[in-house]
Amino acid sequence: MLRRALICLLLAAAPAAAQEAPARVVSMNLCTDQLAMLLAAPGQLVSVSKLARDPMSSAMAEEAKGYPVNHGQAEEVWLLRPDLVVVGSYTAQAAAQMLERLGTRVLRVAPAASLADVPARLRTLGEAMGRQKRAEALIAEFETRLAALRAEMDRRPSAALYYANGYTTGDQTLAGEILLAAGFHNIAGARGGGQLPLEALAMAEPEALITARPYPGASRSEEILMHPVVRQLRAARAATANTGSDWICGTPHVLGAIEDLSRFRQEIE
């Protein structure tokens, strides 16, 4: 009797101890979409978010066409019967909480704020998806390529990252670290994201101006990138480059952004 109860208890505890790989994974966030697509076994990832197919935002828009998309709503995700749902730590929180109440396992992944976060996110998601080996392989490749890209600089040309609404990102952000790794000096300095007043940009006179490519459809927020001051800066000396989908998420694709930017720096030197 006692032995039988013990066996039952052990059997019940077994799956919890060595969590088996989830067979059906749904991702609801642009950045986890890309990590999941890189990590998943064939057939394991059943849906990615709608944004994953948008070439303006997603570095893997082509790959994402091979997956059905979701729109971040609890109902549609629940109907997919996932074993694991991956969400960002800020978006779709109401949907994530509802899925948790319904008994679905939800993993929240914070957005990457540095290059060091890339291997960390790969590892976290790899473990949750039961794809540790694949994660370690990706991490090793990422670190080798990153080490090769980081060069010692004699002189770092000054650069500014300038986005819609006069927003900029400093050294303590993923985009800022991309800029540093490519050999630039960021005029915004050691800080996170925030407003860079147009006056401050004009007074700093950066050698390179890195702006975002405009989105389709007009907006007043992006108008600032055509302000006479910005145009004059471009005309006078600042070389310009664009940030793209490689810049947005902490995935191995950031290496592509660093490569492009290093090439750009060599051109203007």
Residues near other proteins (CB under 8 A): 164-166, 194-195, 197-200, 202-203, 205, 215-222, 224, 227-229, 232
Neighbours of 94 (CB within 10 A): 11
Shortest distance in whole angstroms from residue 228 CB to other proteins: 5
Return the number of the residue (181 or 209) whose C-beta is nearest other proteins: 209
Shortest distance in whole angstroms from residue 213 CB to other proteins: 12
Q: Which residues, 6+ apart, have CB-to-CB distance to 246 below 8 Å?
A: 59, 253, 254, 256, 257, 260
Shortest distance in whole angstroms from residue 54 CB to other proteins: 10
Return the number of the residue (84 or 207) whose C-beta is nearest other proteins: 207
Q: If you write DSSP's letter for every residue of 161-202 in order, what string do you get?
A: EE-GGGEEE-TTSHHHHHHHHTT-EETT-S--EEE--HHHHH
Return the number of the residue (43 or 216) whose C-beta is nearest other proteins: 216
Q: Specify the 3-state DSSP secondary structure of 130.
A: coil
Distance CA 10, CA 239 (A): 66
Return the number of the residue (141 or 205) whose C-beta is nearest other proteins: 205
Shortest distance in whole angstroms from residue 215 CB to other proteins: 5
Shortest distance in whole angstroms from residue 123 CB to other proteins: 30
Return the number of the residue (14 or 229) whose C-beta is nearest other proteins: 229
Separation in Å, CA 226 to CA 119, 214, 221, 250: 37, 11, 10, 29
Strands (E), the chain: 25-27, 45-49, 69-70, 84-88, 105-109, 158-162, 167-169, 185-186, 193-195, 208-212, 239-243
Distance CA 69, CA 20 (A): 25
Distance CA 3, CA 247 (A): 58
Return the number of the residue (183 or 206) whose C-beta is nearest other proteins: 206
Shortest distance in whole angstroms from residue 221 CB to other proteins: 4
